[in-house]
Amino acid sequence: MKTVQLAENIYWVGAIDWLTRDFHGYSTNRGTTYNAFLIIDEKVTLIDTVKKPYFKDLMYHISSIIDPKKIDYLVVNHVEMDHSGSIPEVVEAINPEKIICSKMGQKALVQHFHQEDWPYHIISSNEEISLGKKTLQFLETRMLHWPDSMFTYVKEDQILFTSDAFGEHLATSERFDDEVNQDVLMHEATKYYANILTLYSPLIKKLLASVQEMDLPIKMLAPDHGVVWRTNPGKIIEAYTHWCNNQGNGKAIIVYDTMWKSTRLMAEKVAEGLQEEGVSYKLIDLQVNHRSDVMTDVLESSAVILGCPTLNNGMLPRMAGFLMYMRGLRPTNKIGASFGSYGWSGEAVKLMNESLKEMKFTMCHKGLKVQYVPQENHLEECVELGRTVAKSMADHMAGKEVESVI
């Protein structure tokens, strides 16, 4: 991979990871990138580094532009190991005059690498540092998605380096938004938001408002994963505005697991009820869908209907695991309902309902459970559950108050 120029004297020098398929439990089927950027000025500056195994790629890219020892400043926008894992080697190789980070960044760097005497230079929001011709301005973005996270803005070039925000896990030979397939790009950006950022939606809302208030002209958004948004940064900002407001797309998803196919039968009938009312739906069997793909559908849906039989007084482990994952990410502002078959105790529906209520979903149905194998009348109740969800969705989307029935 060659380095790529973003603007005069600003280069991408990161690494492409074609191999990774799991990012702490998130399936990264298209790999990822660890973006780092080099600014050539009176003070040569490296913005972010790469995951430890890619240190040599970073050095190779930097060396094709300048002797790495000439780097004066290292900016650390975020300390998570995919961006900072190689920092000890980088510090040894370049011996920087300053490591520029937030206060929380310094704390996290010490806690990760146990080096109290590195040349930390702590900045806070709106502070500026001149590199000579170019000026860096900083914006702390605490808890987006770590306490140390911050953005770095190059005023003269109007490039905002956004760490994890506006990124996607996508390994490509191309570096810019206009060079890749738009459907793939937006799918991966959606998946990234769903699995990394959903929990922080209220903070993202505030961040977007404060960036707007600062009135920063933005020519490019340069995240640490995926492509640099040079042609259409407004596209990803618009998508984030949509996602952080928890606006669904008017579709329903039925997420289920099944033991002896009774719950699958029920799921198919719930789908019939949705279809009768003109609602577009997706049937998602957890046996063949990865939780992080399901979360992508959750983010964009307006209703989530869960189906699971009872096993040992609880849910099947795949549903229990999925709900633990989903609860952690806290999607909200959706219609919810549950169903499932059981043998003799039947707790699964109650447990799924509790999870949905905890996420403040509007529960439009008390829950439907059927002993062993559903008969015709049970299947009709499933169709009716689908109709009920569809009607609640219509009311919800029309701005009418929909009350939870449990």
Considering only the C-alpha atoms of the chain, give the largest distance between any 2 of them, rounded to a whole number of Å. 78
Minimum CB distance to ligand FEO smaller for 78 or for 230? 78
Smallest gap, in angstroms, from Cβ of residue 127 to ligand FEO? 22
Number of residues that bind ligand FEO (CB under 6 A): 9
Residue tagged active-site, from 153, 192, 193, 240 = 192
Smallest gap, in angstroms, from Cβ of residue 346 to ligand FEO? 41
Q: Would you say 196 and 27 are in contact if contact means Cβ atoms under 8 Å apart?
A: no
Smallest gap, in angstroms, from Cβ of residue 364 to ligand FEO? 36
Q: What are the start-end ranges of the H helices in 101-226?
A: 103-113, 182-192, 201-214
d(CA 160, CA 228): 10
177 noted as active-site residue = no
Q: 397: alpha, beta or left, given left = phi > 0 and alpha = psi -120 to 50?
A: alpha
Site for ligand FEO contains 83 (CB under 6 A): yes
Among 328, 308, 331, residue whose Cα is nearest residue 318? 308
The Cα-based distances of 56 to 60, 70, 297, 321 in angstroms read: 6, 17, 37, 38
48 noted as active-site residue = no
What secondary structure letter does DSSP report for 353? H
Smallest gap, in angstroms, from Cβ of residue 80 to ligand FEO? 4
- Binding ligand FEO by CB under 6 A: which of 82, 140, 188, 300? 82
Stretch that binds ligand FEO, among 80-88, 152-160, 211-219, 236-244 (CB under 6 A): 80-88
157 noted as active-site residue = no
CB burial of 307-331 (b: ≥16 within 10 Å; e: otherwise) equals: bbbbbeeebbebbbebbebbeebeb
The contact mask relative to ligand FEO for 225-244 (x = CB under 6 A, - = no) is x-------------------
- Binding ligand FEO by CB under 6 A: which of 57, 148, 164, 257? 164
Residue tagged active-site, from 164, 168, 257, 297 = 164
CB burial of 106-117 (b: ≥16 within 10 Å; e: otherwise) equals: bbbbeeeeeeee
d(CA 244, CA 214): 19
Question: Cis (ω within 30 of 0) for the bond into 145?
Answer: yes
d(CA 13, CA 41): 16
Encoded tokens for 83? 């961006």
Minimum CB distance to ligand FEO smaller for 61 or for 83? 83
Smallest gap, in angstroms, from Cβ of residue 113 to ligand FEO? 16
Site for ligand FEO contains 134 (CB under 6 A): no
The SS3 call for residue 79 is coil
Residue tagged active-site, from 83, 169, 225, 396 = 225
Residue tagged active-site, from 17, 41, 57, 82 = 82
Stretch that binds ligand FEO, among 76-84, 85-93, 118-126, 132-140 (CB under 6 A): 76-84
- How many Cβ atoms from other residues are within 10 Å of residue 132's Cβ? 13
Minimum CB distance to ligand FEO smaller for 195 or for 302? 195
Minimum CB distance to ligand FEO smaller for 83 or for 230? 83
Minimum CB distance to ligand FEO smaller for 100 or for 284? 100
Smallest gap, in angstroms, from Cβ of residue 225 to ligand FEO? 6
Site for ligand FEO contains 80 (CB under 6 A): yes
192 noted as active-site residue = yes
The SS3 call for residue 54 is helix
Residue tagged active-site, from 41, 48, 80, 148 = 80
Stretch that binds ligand FEO, among 77-85, 275-283, 339-347, 379-387 (CB under 6 A): 77-85
Q: For the residues of 227-264, what is the DSSP string, one character each? A: -BBSS-HHHHHHHHHHHHTT---S-EEEEE--SSSHHH
Q: Would you say 44 and 71 are in contact if contact means Cβ atoms under 8 Å apart?
A: yes
Site for ligand FEO contains 148 (CB under 6 A): no
Smallest gap, in angstroms, from Cβ of residue 108 to ligand FEO? 11
Residue tagged active-site, from 61, 83, 145, 169 = 145
Residue whose Cβ sits closest to ligand FEO: 80
- Binding ligand FEO by CB under 6 A: which of 48, 148, 224, 257? 224
The SS3 call for residue 131 is coil
Q: For the residues of 304-333, what is the DSSP string, one character each? A: EEEE--EETTEE-HHHHHHHHHHHHH---S
Encoded tokens for 203? 């903070």
Residue tagged active-site, from 57, 73, 78, 224 = 78
Residues that bind ligand FEO (CB under 6 A): 78, 80, 82-83, 145-146, 164, 224-225
Catalytic sites, residue numbers: 24, 78, 80, 82, 145, 164, 192, 225
